[in-house]
Amino acid sequence: MEKSRDQLLREIRSLKKRREQLEESISIKRAALESTAEGILIVDGKGKVIDFNEKFTKLWNIPSDIVKQRGDNRFIQYVLQQLSDPDSFVDRIRELYADPDVESLDEIHFKDGRVFERYSLPLHLDGKSAGRVWSFRDVTERGRIEEALHKSEEKYRNILENIEEGYYEVDLAGNYTFMNEAICRRQGCTRDELMGMNNRENTSPENAKKIYRIFNEIYRTGVPAKIIDYEIIKKDGSTINLEMSVSLLRDASGKPIGFRGVSRDVTEKKKAEERLHYLANYDSLTGLLNRALFRDRLSHAVERALRNRGVVAVLFIDLDRFKSVNDTLGHEFGDKLLQAVARRIKECLRKSDTIARLGGDEFTIMLEDIASPERAVTVAKKILQALVRPISVNEHEIYTSASIGITVYPGDAADIDGLLRNADSAMYLAKERGRSNYQFFTPEMNAKAQERLLLESSLRRALEKEEFLLYYQPQVDIETGGLIGFEALLRWRHPDLGMLAPDRFIPIAEETGTIIAIGEWVLRTACTEWRSWRDAGFPPVDMAVNISILQFRHRDLPETLAQILKETNMDPRYLELELTETALMTNPERCRDILAKLKAMGIRFAIDDFGTGYSSLSYLKRYPIDTLKIDRSFVKDVATDPDDAAIVQVIIALGRTLRMCVMAEGVETLEQSDFLKSQNCRKAQGYLFSPPLTPDAAVEWLKKAARPPLVGTV
Ligand code: C2E
Ligand code: CA
Ligand code: CA
């Protein structure tokens, strides 16, 4: 059947249209093919190239005409020469052609370091296998990023594991979800033991409560916090102190999922702080409070007393003659004595009483909330009593005593400085009243304390300003009344206070150490005076000079003396050094050495105030002593008190046994003089014969001595 023309035209038109449609669809596909980021290659079942896109030629760096050769050897050469492992590439292609329905995704590596992702998809036409679509994507950059990511993660983990600080993460309930090595190390646990453990399990209940509160607060506000004092109980039971930061841990969506932070071990730091605190507030020798903390406690007590109308008493305790123990037996010895004394005093106190060491041999006690000042008396008596028993230190038995001053708030002072000052003044009164006693503060004491301060500061310059002078008291033969010698007695012409007797300033000079220089001045002046008398033509007389215990122990004394004797050309046989029993009985071995050294120079010795101290006979026997001076307290009542008379008799007998000369001092009456004469005491000194004299008056005595003396006249 012949087609009609119309029919033919219609077919042509429709064919044309289909072609147009087809072309359109092909160009759409083409455009699609070119617009992807991947390089695409389509091959048929036999491996012949059907199609490819621009990107493919670019990725593989192959001129497109070579690809168009379809299956040409040159094409495969181009591909293989670029790869770092061409064999496995070829193998993979073979495998895939053997199994046309398999999809595959792998990576291919280039010699130049590039990495492609290779995707292969079976191509089906009308349900039949018709080849493959290969797509390639350059993933070199992605690999680099992954590698960098991996590396940086490792770096951070490395840092985390190697830092001193602990890093932890916990969930919202406080269970550990992550921690670094430092945390495990510090807590003495393995990671497994810690994982899942609650952070409240390894701390005290109070701490746990505190942590809970802080975590809650952070959860509520989102504001990070720092926990400064977090005590952790380690697995072995010991504790460590942490300082820890805490902040909220959120997931990617910002939802809180736990807490995290850094913790630092501050155990050592805390210990150092505690040590500093201790040093700032306690006395390291005795463990008692120091001045600073005592003042603090006292001011609180005063505040409380003000509110509750209470009474606070302050006791100021100063050991008697501690300085000489320290100077003669050494500081180490002195320290031990102080420790022992601190213990003794403490035993006299109640728990609620506060005791401190202010420094040196000074202790203070605060009695708070006492019903009446009587309690202070009880405590003071107890302390004095406790110190009566000797204290043994380094196998020495040391006898000590204390002088105690007491002051009471609110009666005596309005503030703590006033209280401390008053107690100090009262303590000085106790010293003046013969030591080993207690005294309450009285307003007159303030004046005394003021004077003491004044003396202390002016004493320093008294030597330079030539304010010292010596008086000379005659020593006589009690039988004939003839002059034997003089005792040099120190005076201080104070610019404001007038002439001062040594008892007022010698103790201060001893405490401040100025006694060494003053003592040297005394020796030099006395010897110079002696020389001037000799040069004036008088016959030689004895010159007695008082030596302080400190001066006696000073290592320069022998040299100083030798120097002075040489300077003044004094005959040492006429020089008699007066030493107290205390000076001679502390550290007797050392004492014997010094005595021997001076004795070798020809100097003589007297024991001053004999009978008031504790002398050991065995030492007395071994010392080269020439004279015993009976203390004037015994002489005073010798004519009326049989006890004192007996003591004086014993001393005189002792002197005779030890072949020492005996001298009575403070002889004021004829009765005393007669009694002494009846006991065969050879020498005497006292107002009965003469008071201490100025140098000019002493010369008058020397002149008179040339004439026959009249007993009992001045
Ligand atoms: P002391 O060594 O016992 O000196 C005797 C003291 O008794 C002197 O007091 C003297 O004035 C006083 N006195 C003399 N005769 C009588 C008397 O008949 N009745 C009374 N009641 N007293 C009399 P002074 O001069 O005030 O000296 C006191 C103490 O000061 C001395 O006691 C001595 O221990 C010390 N001292 C004096 N001068 C020095 C010195 O140069 N160096 C040192 N280290 N101490 C000195
Ligand atoms: Ca004397
Ligand atoms: Ca004396």
Q: Could you say which DSSP state residue 577 is in?
A: E
Report d(CA 610, CA 628) in Å as an integer.
Answer: 6
pLDDT of residue 99: 85
User: Residue 72 pLDDT > 70, yes or no?
Assistant: no
Q: Out of 533-547, 622-636, 696-710, which region has the weakest mean confidence (pLDDT)?
A: 696-710
Q: How far is CA 148 from the centre of its chain?
A: 51
Backbone angles phi, psi at 485, to 5 degrees: -175, -165
pLDDT in tens, 325-334: 887 788 898 9
CA atoms lying within 13 Å on the CB side of residue 187: 27
515-535 vs 695-705: helix crossing angle, rounded to 10: 40
Distance 491 CA to ligand 3 centre (A): 16
577 and 602 Cβ atoms separated by less than 8 Å: no
How many Å lie between the centroid of ligand 2 and the Cα of residue 491?
13
Contacts of 192 (CB under 8 A, 6+ apart): none
470 CA closest ligand 1 atom index: 41
Residue 631 contacts residue 606 (beta carbons within 8 Å): no
Q: What are phi and psi of 239, to 5 degrees?
A: -120, 155
Q: Considering the chain, what percentage of its residues have pLDDT values greater than 70?
A: 98
Burial status of residue 340 (CB atoms within 10 A of its CB: 0-12, 13-18, 19 or more):
middle
- Residue 477: what pLDDT? 96
Distance 631 CA to ligand 2 centre (A): 9
Identify the residue whose C-alpha is closest to ligand 1 atom 44: 548
Give the mean model confidence (pLDDT) for residues 315-335: 87
Q: Of all atoms in ligand 1, which is nearest to the CA of residue 685?
A: 15
Q: How far is CA 167 from CA 361, 522, 602, 605, 625, in A?
A: 53, 76, 83, 80, 81
Residue nearest atom 10 in ligand 1 by C-alpha distance: 692
Distance separating alpha carbons of residues 35 and 5, to the nearest angstrom: 44
pLDDT confidence of residue 708: 55
Q: Which residues contact 352 (CB under 8 A, 6 or more apart)?
A: 368, 369
Residue 713 is predicted with a pLDDT of: 43
Q: What is the mean pLDDT of residues 205-218?
A: 88
pLDDT one-digit tens code per residue, 547-566: 999 899 898 999 999 999 99
Task: Name which residue leads in pLDDT, 525 or 61.
Answer: 525
| Six-digit token string for 20 | 């147009």
CA dist., res. 186 & res. 207, Å (int): 18
**Quick one: how far is CA 590 from the chain centroid?**
36
> Starting from the edge strand earliest in sequence, which strands make up the sheet with 256-265, in order?
176-179, 166-171, 256-265, 239-250, 225-233
User: SS in 3 state form for 599-649?
Assistant: HHCCCEEEEEEECCCCCCHHHHHHCCCCEEEECHHHHHCCCCCHHHHHHHH
Pocket test for ligand 1, best of 635, 665, 688, 714 (most atoms within 8 A of CB): 665
Q: Answer whether residue 712 shows pLDDT above 50.
A: no
* Half-sphere exposure in the Cβ direction for 274 (13 Å, CA): 7
- Report whether pLDDT(395) > 90: no
Residues in the ligand 1 pocket, defined by CB under 6 Å? 473, 489-490, 501-503, 506, 519, 522, 546-548, 578, 608-609, 632, 665-668, 686-687, 692
The superfamily in CATH containing domain 163-271 is PAS domain (3.30.450.20)
Reported confidence tier of residue 1, pLDDT bands at 50, 70, 90? low
What is residue 692's three-state secondary structure? coil
Q: What is the mean pLDDT of the chain?
A: 89
- pLDDT score for 257: 92
CB 460 within 8 A of CB 517: no
At residue 467, the pLDDT reads 97
CA distances from 297 to 170, 277, 293, 409 (A): 45, 15, 6, 14
Please state, in angstroms and rounded to a whole number, the distance separating the CA atoms of residues 554 and 556.
Answer: 5
| Residues with Cβ–ion distance below 5 A, ligand 3 | 608-609
The CA 548 to ligand 3 mean position distance, Å, reads 12
What are the distances in angstroms from CA 95 to CA 77, 242, 682? Answer: 19, 63, 141
Q: Between these two residues, 339 and 324, which has the higher pLDDT value?
A: 339
pLDDT at 670 (0 to 100): 95
Domain over 36-138 is classified CATH 3.30.450.20: yes
**What is the 3-state composition of the chain as percent helix, strand, coil, each rounded to the nearest 5?**
45, 25, 30
Task: Quote the Cα angle for 389-394-395, to 5°.
Answer: 65
Instruction: Give the CATH number of domain 282-443; options: 3.30.70.270, 3.40.50.1820, 3.40.50.720, 3.40.640.10.
Output: 3.30.70.270
Return the pLDDT at 573. Answer: 97
Nearest ligand to the CA atom of 629: 3
Q: What are phi and psi of 109, to 5 degrees?
A: -110, 135
Common-topology check for domains 36-138 and 163-271 = yes
Which pLDDT score is estimated for 714?
41
Q: CA–CA separation, 366 vs 295, rounded Å?
A: 10
pLDDT at 671 over 90: yes
For residue range 463-506, list pLDDT tens digits in order: 999 999 999 999 999 999 899 999 999 999 999 899 999 999 99
Between CA 548 and CA 509 the distance in angstroms is 10
Q: How far is C-alpha 543 from the chain's CA centre?
A: 53
Residue 392: φ, ψ to 5°? -95, 125
According to the model, what pLDDT value does residue 703 have?
Answer: 94
Query: What gap in Å lies between CA 110 and CA 115, rounded to an integer?
Result: 6
CA 200 to chain centre: 34
Average pLDDT over residues 34-63: 87
Q: Looking at the domain that runs over 466-704, which CATH code has it been given?
A: 3.20.20.450
Summarize pLDDT for 154-184 with one digit per residue, the tens: 888 888 888 888 999 999 988 999 999 888 8
> Is residue 416 scored above 80 in pLDDT?
yes
Q: Sketch the domain layout of the chain as residue ranges.
A: 1-32, 36-138, 163-271, 282-443, 466-704
Query: What DSSP designation does 572 have?
Result: G
Bridge partners (DSSP) of residue 485 are 475, 542
Q: Ligand 1 atom closest to Cα of 578?
A: 2
To which residue do tokens 């201490």 refer? 692
Who's near 650: CB < 8 A, 6+ residues apart? none
DSSP state of 573: G
Q: What gap in Å lies between CA 237 and CA 64, rounded to an integer?
A: 78
Ligand 2 is an ion; its neighbours by CB within 5 Å are: 546, 578, 608
